[in-house]
Amino acid sequence: LMTPYFTSPLFIVFGALLGRRLARIGVDLRAALLMFFVVAYLLWAVVFVGGPEGGPLGYSNATAALAAQLVALAGLLALDTRGSTRWLLLGVAVLAVLVVLITRSDAGTIIVVPLVAATALAMTGKVSRKWWSTTLGVVGVVGAGAAVVGLTIAQQWPQRVVNALSATRHGLWQDALTLWAQHPLIGSGPGAFRRFSKHATISTHETAHMSLLQIGAETGLMGALLFAAVITL
């Protein structure tokens, strides 16, 4: 029951309900302090405990991903607050950026740069919903997926790409795409990638490190379409 295919939808629903609730009651100093303590713990863990490869999640990219989400959350909340609460939330965002940089995660750094730019733009300009924001999101998601598939198909990566993403990740992606090709419609079942991949000899390599390929390999086109529907919603 603890498979991500079961727990992730539950967290998505819980997050949506909690977000709607918080949007109605607003964010106060207590919520900002809670976020501050969370990001301070992350910073303490990657500096003094586990190092860049450690931290509470045990993997630098995972820690960087969590910190990047804290940057986005703090930035969004800061838009609806004033005074000391806003400054505290901006402080949370700054500390979260430091966590990303300390983990030395290339993926985290690539994500956090536009996040910081978007936060700065939103804080200084007028924020409104327009068609281009949705279009930009769709183009970004689809473009990232297409780029990963293109890189996976490539027999050899340029050295610059290898340095940024690692040759092991290339192998993981190729294994996932190969497994997907065996059962393209319904996949090979949850957990199949870990049993199939020749690279899955250590815990950090038991997944494909790319959601689309992981879901496609284990749940096929049906799962990939459901995943796309969740992102669309």
Q: What is the 3-state secondary structure (H, E, C) of 88-127?
A: HHHHHHHHHHHHHHHHCCHHHHHHHHHHHHHHHHHHHCCC
User: How far apart, in whole angstroms, are the C-alpha atoms of residue 116 and residue 100?
Assistant: 12
User: How far apart, in whole angstroms, are the C-alpha atoms of residue 26 and residue 97?
Assistant: 25
pLDDT of the residue at 175? 95
**183 dihedral zone (left: phi>0; alpha: psi -120 to 50; beta):** beta
- C-beta separation of 179 from 217 below 8 A: yes
User: How far apart, in whole angstroms, are the C-alpha atoms of residue 126 and residue 108?
Assistant: 27
Q: Is the pTM of this model over 0.85?
A: no
pLDDT of the residue at 127? 63
Dihedral over Cα of 219, 222, 225, 226: its sign: negative
Name the residue with higher pLDDT: 204 or 159: 159
Mean of the pLDDT values across residues 172-188?
Answer: 95
Name the residue with higher pLDDT: 76 or 95: 95
How are the residues of the chain apportioned to helix, strand and coil, as percentages rounded to the nearest 5? 75, 0, 25
pLDDT in tens, 11-68: 989 988 888 887 777 777 888 898 899 999 989 988 887 676 666 777 788 889 999 9
What does pLDDT average to over the chain?
A: 87
pLDDT in tens, 41-54: 989 988 887 676 66
Q: Directed axis angle between helix 83-103 and helix 29-44, to 10°?
A: 20
In terms of C-beta density within 10 A (0-12 exposed, 13-18 middle, 19 or more buried), how is residue 15 classed?
exposed
Mean of the pLDDT values across residues 200-221?
Answer: 90
Q: Is the pLDDT of residue 1 over 60?
A: no
pLDDT of the residue at 62? 84
- C-beta separation of 184 from 207 below 8 A: no
pLDDT in tens, 126-140: 766 677 777 878 888
Q: What's at 107, amino acid-wise?
A: A
Q: How many CA atoms lie within 13 A of 74 on its CB side?
A: 31
Of 106-110, 116-120, 187-191, the least confident: 106-110
pLDDT of the residue at 52? 66
